[in-house]
Structure 1
Amino acid sequence: MQFIAFLETRKIDKFTVITRQIIVDFLELESNQQKATSSIVRSVTSLRKFFQYLVEEGIIQNDPMELIDAPKKSEHLPEVLSTSEVEKLLNSPDTSKPLGIRNRAILELMYATGLRVSEVINIQLADLHLSLGLIQTIGKGQKERIVPIGDKAISWVEKYLNNIRPRLLKKQQSNFLFLNHHGRKLTRQGIWKNLKADVLRAGIEKNVTPHTLRHSFATHILENGADLRIVQELLGHSDISTTQIYTHLSKRRLAEIYGKYHPRA
Structure 2
Amino acid sequence: MHPDFAVLAESWKLALDADGYAANTLTSYERAMRHLAEWLAEEHPGVGPADVTRTHIRSWIIHVRDRSSSGTARSWFAGIRKFYRWAVEEGEVDVDPTEGIRTPAANDPTTPVLTIAQVRDLLGTCGSRTFIDRRDAAIIYVFVDGGLRLAEMAGLQVADVDTRDRLLFVEGKGTNRSGPRRRAVPLGVKATRALDRYLRERRRHPYAELPQLWLGARGQTLGGGGVKRMIERRGELVGLDLHPHMFRHTWASEFRKAGGNEGDLMVLGGWRNRAMLDRYGKVAAGERAQEAYRRLALGDRI
Normalization by structure 2: what TM-score? 0.65
- Determine which of 198, 204, 223 is the counterpart of 1:160: 198
**Residue deviations 1:176-197, cap 9 Å, x none?**
3322224733211221121111
Counterparts of 1:127 and 1:43 in 2: how far apart (Å)? 38
Whether the 8 Å CA contact 2:143–2:247 is kept in 1: the answer is: yes
Matched residue, 1:209: 243
Q: 1:47/1:4 Cα in 2 relative to 1: closer, same or farther (>3 Å)?
A: farther
Amino acid at match of 1:154: T
User: Cα offset for 1:217?
Assistant: 1.0
- Contact conserved, 1:48 with 1:65, CA < 8 A, in 2? no
Relative to structure 1, is the Cα distance of residues 114 and 65 closer, same or farther in structure 2, using a 3 angstrom cutoff?
closer
* Aligned mates of 2:87, 2:243 — CA distance in 1: 42
User: Closer, same or farther in 2 for the Cα pair 1:63/1:81, shift >3 Å?
Assistant: same
Q: Is the 8 A contact 2:149 2:248 kept in 1?
A: yes
1:100 aligns with 2:133: yes
**C-alpha deviation, 1:19, in angstroms:** 7.4
Q: For 1:194 and 1:240, locate their aligned partners in 2 and report how far apart those are by CA, in whole Å.
A: 31
1:215-253 per-residue CA deviation (whole Å, 9 max, x = no partner) reads 211111111110111111111223444323223223144
Q: Which amino acid aligns with 2:272?
A: S
The answer for the alignment partner of 1:76 in structure 2 is: 109
CA gap of 1:26–1:147, structure 2 versus 1, over 3 A, is closer
Query: Gapped runs of 5+ residues in structure 2?
Result: 1-37, 174-178, 298-302
Shift of 1:23: 4.5
Look up the match of 1:249: 283
Whole-Å Cα distance in 2 between the matches of residues 102 and 67 of structure 1?
53
Equivalence for 2:180: 142
CA root-mean-square deviation: 4.0
- Where in structure 1 are there 5+ consecutive unaligned residues? none
Size of the alignment, in residue pairs?
Answer: 249
Deviation (angstroms), 1:81: 1.9
Q: Distance in 2 between matches of 1:14 and 1:143?
A: 40
Q: Normalising by structure 1, report the TM-score.
A: 0.72
Give 1:173 deviation, angstroms.
1.9
**2: distance between equivalents of 1:239 and 1:25?**
27
2:95 and 2:52 mapped to 1: Cα distance? 10
Worse-matched range after superposition: 26-35 or 88-97 = 26-35
Give the Cα–Cα distance (whole angstroms) in 1 for the partners of residues 151 and 66 of structure 2: 39
> Are the aligned partners of 1:134 and 1:147 in contact in 2 as well (CA < 8 Å)?
yes
The 5 A counterparts of 1:86-235 are 86-93=119-126, 95-140=128-173, 141-162=179-200, 164-169=201-206, 173-182=209-218, 184-205=220-241, 208-235=242-269
Q: Percent identity?
A: 21
**Residue type matched to 2:168 in 1?**
I
CA distance, structure 2, for counterparts of residue 80 and residue 126 of structure 1 = 31
Task: Name the aligned partner's letter for residue 101 of structure 1.
Answer: R
Cα shift at 1:4: 5.3
Deviations along 1:10-47, whole A, 9 cap, x unmatched? xx999999976x55984697499666334555479659
Looking at structure 1, the residues matched to 133 and 202 of structure 2 have their Cα atoms a distance apart, in angstroms, of 12
Larger radius of gyration: 1
Q: Hey, what's the Cα distance between the residues in 2 that align with 1:4 and 1:253?
A: 49
